[in-house]
Structure formats: C-alpha cells, structure tokens
Structure 1
Amino acid sequence: MMPSLVVLTDFFAVTNRALSYAAGLAVPLHAQLVLLHTRYDGLPVPEGFNERHTAPGEWKTDQALRHLAAEQTVPTEVDVAEGFLPEAVTEAVRRHHPLCMVLGRPSAATEPAELLTNAVMDLLRHAPHPLLLVPAVGWDAFPPRRFLLAVDGQPFTFNDADHQEVLSRLLQATHATLDAVYVTDDEHALPGASNVLETVRANDLVSTFAESRLHEVYHASAVAGVLEETARQEADVLVVVVRRHSLLGSLFHSSVTAQLIQESAIPVLLLPAED
C-alpha cells in the first residue's frame, strides 16, 4: 500500500505553500496525497468563502478540490467529510494510515494566530497523530536538510509505533541531518546530557545519534531558547514531541506548544507521545 500524506484543505492549506510542500515531500517518500476537506470544521469561514456551506457552495468546493487534485504532480485523491475537524481527521487516519497530517499556517495578517493554534490543540487532544504545520511565509529551504528536535529531557513513549517512524523516514528520504536542543534555566534543572540523549535514543527516532548533535541552551524562556537554537542551526524543520497530559510536559507546557506553533518561522512537525 502506498503511504500517504493527508493535507487538511479547509482553505488554509490551499491558500499558502503547505500543499506544494506536501507534494514535494511525497516524491522522495514515494507517497500519495489525500486532500481532506471537512464541511463543518467549526472554524470561521475565511474571507471569500462565505457561501461554502450552501448547496451551490459545496458543489463548487467539490469541483475546486477535484481540480486541485488533478493539478498535483503526485497521485492525489479527495476525501470530503461531513463532520467536525477532529472526527474527520480520526476517520481519515483510520482509512488512509497517513505518515502525517499537513496543515498550512496562515500569516497573522490574514487570520488570527489563536484560531489555528486552538484548532491544532483540539486536534492533538482528540486525534493524536503526527502533524506538520507549514507557515505561509518566512521559509525558503526545500527539500529540508536540517531537522532540529526540541525535547524537555523527560522520558516519553509514542502511543503508536508508526509515529516514531515518521521522522526517520523523512530524514532518510530527504538525506537530512538531525540535531536536538533542550533548554535549561535556574528553576528547571534537567537530568544532564546523558539522560537527555537516552530519551532520544530510547525511542529509535534515528538509528544512531551522536552526543555532539545535542545542544543545551540556557534561557529563561523555553520558546525563545528553542527558536534561537533553530536560527543558529539554520534548521529547516522544527520537531516537537507533544505530551498527552499537557501537550508538552515540564518546561514544555501547552502555552509553549502554542507559542512554537505561532512563532516558528519554519515548518513544525508535532509528534504525539504518551506521558
């Protein structure tokens, strides 16, 4: 069965570069695309699509999606769901077994940042699956060559064995490197480099991981520390392990997750894990 990338196309992904980014990744991954559209996603309707929930509007949406699928350079199918976003994604994961979901992050000038962040948080709570967020602007590197994994130093376990394979498959397909960063400050002392390394190695995210690729950053703000290291490394993708109980544990709590989603200038890959 050909692997797939499910692109959420509720006129956020299709109005920026998320779809082309997903199509570009699909080539080395030998994957197909699934354009997932939910008719009643619960999100405010973007400007210009006020009639999309009427019968003529839904027909136009279906036609537009089929035309969009036909334009792609990789095999692409359309999946239209009638439910709300978390339920639609849960069903899409069951049907298509995607490597990850892909969602475009609109610029703050076009949509409030909180709108997408709340949708992502809700999605991760109810339909935990690897999710790749692609900013509309601010990044240029493709294919990605440098991945940076943000960890908090605490043990974690993925709730699905397939989730831990996503990163290794992306690294292998794009011939990219992986570094890791963890942030310390006066109030949150972490167990040390050896233990942090063990949290990465224990989950087989990559076949080997050298200590030289682990970077400790001292900063009062976990978000600022991670983003500063992202810039210093000239990373192309930021990878974040998301914990179930608070969406990130220890230093990485829900507000940190939200800020990374909103402020990262590069694509962010969220990997759901158990506590």
Structure 2
Amino acid sequence: MTPSLVVLTDFFAVTNRALSYAAGLAVPLHAQLVLLHTRYDGLPVPAGFGAHHTLHGEQQTDQALLRLAAEQTVPTEVDVAEGFLPEAVAEAVRRHHPLFMVLGRPSATTEATELLTSVVMDLLRHAPHPLLLVPAVGWDAFPPRRFLLAVDGQPFTFNDQDHQEVLSRLLQATQATLDVVYVTDDEYALPGADSVLETVRANDLVNTFAKSRLHEVYHSAVVAGVLEEAARQGADVLVVVVRRHSLLGSLFHRSVTAQLIQESAIPVLLLPAED
C-alpha cells in the first residue's frame, strides 16, 4: 500500500504553504496526499469565508478541492467529511492509514492561533496520531536537515509501531540529523543523561544515537529552553513526544505543549505516546 500524508485543509491562506510542505515531503517518502476537508465550524473562519457552509459554498469548496488536488506534483485525492474534526480525523486515519497528518498554523491573530491550538489538543486526546504543524511564516529551510527532539526525561512508549517509525522514516527520507534536548531547572531534577538517552534508544526512534547529540539545557522555563536550543542549533523541525498524561499534568504538561505549538518558529511534529 502506498503511504499517505493527510493534509487538513479549510482554505486558510496558510494552508497552501502547509500543503506545499507536505507535497515536498511526500516525494522522498514515496507517499501520496489526501486533502481532508471537514464541514466543521470549530476552526476560525477568515474574512470572506463566512458563507462557505451554505449549499452553494460547499459545492464551490468541493470544486476548489478537486482543482487543488489536480495541481499537486504528487498523486492527491480528496476526502470531504461531515461532522466534527476529531471524528473525521479518526475515520481518515482508519481509512487512509497516513504516516502523519499535516495542519497549517495561522499567524494572523492571537485568537486564531489559540483556537487552533485548542483544536490540536482536542485531536491529540480523541484521535491521537502523529501531527505535523507548519507555521505560516518564520521558516525557510526545505527539505528539513536538522531535527530536534524535545523530551521530558521520563520513560514513554508508543501504542502503535507505525507512530514509532514516523521519525526514523522522515530522517531517512530527508537524510537529516537528529539531536535531543531536555530542560532542567531548580524545581525539576531530571534523570541523568544516560537515563534520558535510554528513553530515546528504547523506543527505536532512530537506528543509532550518539550521546554527543544529547543536550541538557538549564532554564527556568521549559518552552523558552527548548526554543532557544532549537534556534542555537538552527533546527528545521521540532519533534515533541506528547504522552497522554502530558495533556493533563507533569513537566511537559498541557500548557507547555500548547506553548510549543503556538510559539515555535519552525514546523512541529507531535508524536502521541502512552504514559
């Protein structure tokens, strides 16, 4: 079966850049694209799009999706779903078995970004699947050559082997490198470097991983520490392992994950895992 990348599209201007990024990754991954459009009112609607849920608007949307699919440089199909986004995504995952989902992150207003972040967190809880968030602006490197994995130092496992293989497949396809960062401060005494390293190796995220690529950052704020390390290394993609209880508590708690989604200047790959 040809692997696929499912791109969530609602015709924000940012979506075109996310779609281009997905199409670019699909080539070395030997994957096809699926444009998933949900007739869903939960996402922020830009000016001029308020009538797209009328019958006429829906017909225009369907036609625009087909034209957009035809314009892609890789095989692309369209999937239009009814109902709410988590259910539509869960069904799309069951039907298409994507390597990961792709979603553009708007930058127009704080309100739009916060609302989209809420939608992403809802997806992680109810339809957990690897999700790549692509900012509208602030990054230029493609294909990505430097991935930075942010961990909290605690053990984690993936409940799906396909989720476990996403990062290694991306690294191999783009011939990129991987570094790992974990943040310590006076409040959180994390395990030593060897223990943190073992959490990465134990999940086979990469075939081999050198200790020299593990970076401990001392910072009073987890998000700032991670983003500063990403900037220092010139990282192209930030990878975050989001365990289920991370959405509720712990060092990488819900607000930390949400801040990374909102503030990262580079694409963020979210990998859902068990506790």
- TM-score tier by shorter-chain length is over 0.9
Distance 1:199 1:147 in 2: 17
Q: Which residue of 1 aligns with 2:31?
A: 31
Q: Which residue of 2 aligns with 1:51?
A: 51
**Number of residue pairs the alignment of both structures matches:** 275
What are the superposed Cα offsets for residues 229-249 of structure 1, whole Å, 9 maximum, x if unpaired?
Answer: 000110000000001123276
SS at match of 2:246: coil
Q: Which residue of 2 aligns with 1:62?
A: 62
Gaps in structure 1 of 5+ consecutive residues: none
Q: Which residue of 1 aligns with 2:87?
A: 87
Q: Which residue of 2 aligns with 1:240?
A: 240
Identity %: 88
Residue type of the alignment partner of 1:255 = S
Q: Which residue of 2 aligns with 1:122?
A: 122
Residue type of the alignment partner of 1:214 = L
> Structure 1 residues 248, 183: CA separation in 2 closer, same or farther (over 3 Å shift)?
farther
Shift of residue 111, structure 1, vs aligned partner:
5.6
What are the superposed Cα offsets for residues 182-216 of structure 1, whole Å, 9 maximum, x if unpaired?
Answer: 00000101110000000000000000000000000
> Structure 1 residues 248, 143: CA separation in 2 closer, same or farther (over 3 Å shift)?
farther
Residue type of the alignment partner of 1:257 = T
Distance 1:30 1:238 in 2: 22
Asked whether the equivalents of residues 13 and 103 of structure 1 are also in contact (C-alpha less than 8 Å), the reply is no
Distance 1:110 1:274 in 2: 31
Q: Which residue of 1 aligns with 2:72?
A: 72
Distance 1:229 1:273 in 2: 23
Q: TM-score, normalization: structure 1?
A: 0.97
Asked whether the equivalents of residues 7 and 33 of structure 1 are also in contact (C-alpha less than 8 Å), the reply is yes
Residue type of the alignment partner of 1:30 = H
Farther off after superposition, 100-109 or 40-49:
40-49
SS at match of 1:142: coil
Shift of residue 12, structure 1, vs aligned partner:
3.5
SS at match of 1:155: coil
Shift of residue 44, structure 1, vs aligned partner:
3.4
Distance 1:45 1:148 in 2: 32
Shift of residue 271, structure 1, vs aligned partner:
0.1
Q: Which residue of 2 aligns with 1:201?
A: 201
Farther off after superposition, 237-246 or 91-100:
237-246
Q: Which residue of 2 aligns with 1:21?
A: 21
What are the superposed Cα offsets for residues 15-40 of structure 1, whole Å, 9 maximum, x if unpaired?
Answer: 44100000000000000000000012
Alignment RMSD (CA, Å): 1.3
Shift of residue 148, structure 1, vs aligned partner:
0.1
Q: TM-score, normalization: structure 2?
A: 0.97
Distance 1:26 1:138 in 2: 22
Shift of residue 13, structure 1, vs aligned partner:
7.0
Shift of residue 259, structure 1, vs aligned partner:
0.4
Asked whether the equivalents of residues 5 and 101 of structure 1 are also in contact (C-alpha less than 8 Å), the reply is yes
2:191 is equivalent to residue 191 of structure 1: yes
Gaps in structure 2 of 5+ consecutive residues: none
Shift of residue 49, structure 1, vs aligned partner:
1.1
2:185 is equivalent to residue 155 of structure 1: no
SS at match of 1:191: coil
Distance 2:194 2:4 in 1: 36
Asked whether the equivalents of residues 86 and 127 of structure 2 are also in contact (C-alpha less than 8 Å), the reply is yes
SS at match of 1:44: coil
Q: Which residue of 1 aligns with 2:177?
A: 177
Q: Which residue of 2 aligns with 1:112?
A: 112
Asked whether the equivalents of residues 164 and 205 of structure 1 are also in contact (C-alpha less than 8 Å), the reply is yes
> Structure 1 residues 110, 181: CA separation in 2 closer, same or farther (over 3 Å shift)?
closer
Q: As a proportion of its length, which structure holds more helix?
A: 2
